[in-house]
Structure 1
């Protein structure tokens, strides 16, 4: 029989999309100044790895903007359309895949706006708004993409476009690909085409009618700002992302009363591709959309243990308070009373839990659930935390590494950094991008602890500090092989030793730098 607290822990929902919006609002923990940045009217990308809270933040923002009198439209990009695997199927021409994605997204925007107008009929004048919504839907349904697909076969195709008709997709001449929105006279042509490996480059989009419809529609919404919140962007196939980004840039982002926010995983995005020497398809990050909100940076807590502890104390309390019997906790300090009851030697055990979470809320909740399963009727102990962290690492992270080279690099890093150096972090040049390191970071096995570290040995060169996940070395805790700190360095004042909280400048960090070339050389032998 489990204790009331452990029973409540084991009932926690693991993913935000499985929760109601009311539950997400009740359990949201702000990391200052995250919400303030998201409330700006700038078009913005919210980056963050899986489990860092992008969905939670965007759902909370939607509720916040609704309370402020605006019109938020939250779209889960995994649920756009009803075409199953059509978007990612390489056997379907790129033209058809892109067209369906663009139209389905615009229609999803229309559906949400229509539902809002119907629900708030006391606010909106339906006799004005409904015809404008119809005009917008008609313009959206006439988007046409035509272009080259990439495989080696020959066939015949027929392209038909009729004024006012529904969606059509056609294949035009090789080797150029064109993306266009056409509203015009009837046109039918029979063409012979060959699908090649080279693919096409150019595209053109004409959004005049669509923009006019959107402008008229927004003006009819009683001054409400429309917030387009596009979550799970990284689930869109990479080759289609620039097409959808271009549509958003040329339609939604050109309307003054529309703000667009996109939730994405940085390592799985493709917002822009070149279209000739001076133009591009998609959005330019930093110019068209800001990217100043990265949850991976926010959740590092600047290596401030007190700040991290405060966040996870609030996270646990907000998730569990509604699941516990009324009056169970001390009403004066309920969150602190919860920790006292939940953990043995509450401060030490809770501190171990915070370290094991590595700043990732989803990892924290999974480790907590597994710890409660181990503890049952007893308070959660440090051994429970360590066993749970190891299990979660093996089941939730390590098994996801299907690529043999990625697994080999992880084993090499563990041996090189943890076993030989007795450290739990290493440094890499900030300007050196290694795809497997990024893959391990995306899998939450590596964590960026600090950016922009410098050394007197290499003036002008900056390094990023990568921490190795707690689950990689938890077995070594309380042994002679346990890590002695983050990494070894010589400080500016001349002291040498292991660093627990990384500074910005050092006299020497030579022993902490990871030389990936040594791994690459070993792989070629």
Structure 2
């Protein structure tokens, strides 16, 4: 009897644990595949990020892939709509033909730029039309009239390019003398003599160079003012996502449209989500500039990557990710088991063995999408058991090989750079953190490419050396996936000492006697001269 009861209890426990793991595996990987209500209820803000994002200032939201930019904008859209304002969310990947016409190098930049601006305004108009049809607007007739004006103004937007100028100057001089005799006699006599001299001088000056553009906006600003006036007292929030999907050379043109015709309009807040190193908002142009000047035209640029850098000694990272998993998996689990976990702490205790969740947070390196994917793979490995450290490490290895390393297969210089850094930092120094001179690594594109690929993680910007205050350094960490294989095989000689823990501490101050110059990685010595890439292996 007792044996049967124990067997039944074990079966129930296995079934419950399997449901917990299934809930982790069912967490959506991308925000756009989730409905707005779920996005609003599952969102977890890091620190003061939510309050900063909710300000009425124009802002650029930077973040690498997987840091939650889309989720943040959609959460903001739901939030401002519930307060009575009007959000207009535009995914720039889906407007017009972003992958075709805009990237077609056979067309002139003027043509591509004009189509981009018109298509963007058309997308905004369609969203506003939905608002007019579905929302209770104080003055719907005025809004519809303003939207008609917006359509007319949008078609008047044009990008004009100038690439060649020609100047001609010249003079013509003519002088002559002639004498003619004529006698009317029967045999006839005619004599003529003359002389004429013509001189022409001409100079031709032809200027050629890089094509420069300016944008003709027409009455677009007036039309937008009419729209915001019709929406009063509601505020218009323009949320532009996936900015970095646009061709780099066209981005300043769209930014210039925003600066001249949208940002000055009262009652409008603009938020743009972009990948920092794949964005160009500003372009100098003949004493003026195209685009948006951050800090002037746009009030601020907010980095989600910076907000996702946690002080591990205070467990802020574990609190954030614990709440993230509970918000996403908790509602699903509530439909699968009786008495589901009541809070994030209870959920983590039930889903993970001791030490495993901390290992997962460490493996995620502050990137929510990586954390979700590693957790799903670990839950798959664990099956009907709580997730342990071994499952986390195996999952991190699988995710690294499947996603991150695979992205480097077509980028041999970046792959080689990563290999040399791992050999030096992990292999020789037995560490995971390192320091680079800001000016020094700016010459190496592969460092930025590894950062964008989430294989290097920027922990702290602008570290000052007291002995050389004019030089600034950045602190980085090697991605967990780069050395997880050593952890899996149980190499007793491998111990990550993390001498650079001070880099991620709240104050970011190195310990007494610490010399930055001794720990800075010598990139020219490691990789070769800038632009040449790493030397042969």
Query: How far has the Cα of 1:390 moved from its partner?
Result: 0.8
2:40/2:79 contact within 8 Å kept: no
Query: How far has the Cα of 1:511 moved from its partner?
Result: 3.6
1:246/1:282 contact within 8 Å kept: yes
The correspondence for 1:135, drawn from 124, 144, 149, is 149
1:424 matched to 2:435? The reply is no
The correspondence for 2:418, drawn from 386, 410, 414, is 410
1:200: which partner in 2?
211
The correspondence for 2:40, drawn from 25, 49, 54, is 25
Compared CA separation, residues 520 and 474, structure 1 to 2 (3 A): closer
CA distance in 2, matches of 1:385, 1:83: 38
SS in 1 for 2:111: helix
1:294 matched to 2:303? The reply is yes
Task: Name the stretch that deviates more: 355-364 or 478-487.
Answer: 478-487
| TM-score (norm: length of structure 1) | 0.84
Q: Deviations over 1:285-332 (max 9, x none)?
A: 121113341110000113445100100000000011121144847578
2:462: which partner in 1?
452
Query: How far has the Cα of 1:258 moved from its partner?
Result: 0.9
2:392: which partner in 1?
385
CA distance in 2, matches of 1:456, 1:329: 59
2:402: which partner in 1?
395
SS in 2 for 1:174: strand
Report 1:93-492 matches (<5 A).
93-120=108-135, 122-147=136-161, 174=164, 198-201=209-212, 203-276=213-286, 278-326=287-335, 328=337, 333-345=342-354, 348-401=355-408, 402-432=410-440, 433=442, 434-477=444-487, 478-487=490-499
Compared CA separation, residues 516 and 212, structure 1 to 2 (3 A): same
CA distance in 1, matches of 2:104, 2:208: 16
Compared CA separation, residues 306 and 519, structure 1 to 2 (3 A): same
Task: Name the stretch that deviates more: 286-295 or 477-486.
Answer: 477-486
Larger radius of gyration: 2
1:44 matched to 2:59? The reply is yes
2:157/2:216 contact within 8 Å kept: no
CA distance in 1, matches of 2:71, 2:21: 24
2:180: which partner in 1?
none
Query: How far has the Cα of 1:514 moved from its partner?
Result: 0.8
SS in 2 for 1:78: coil
Give the aligned length. 469
CA distance in 2, matches of 1:124, 1:338: 46
1:520 matched to 2:532? The reply is no
2:341/2:347 contact within 8 Å kept: no
| Consecutive unaligned residues in structure 2, runs of 5 or more | 1-14, 167-206
2:3: which partner in 1?
none
CA distance in 1, matches of 2:500, 2:80: 47
SS in 2 for 1:227: strand
1:175/1:199 contact within 8 Å kept: no
CA distance in 2, matches of 1:499, 1:126: 55
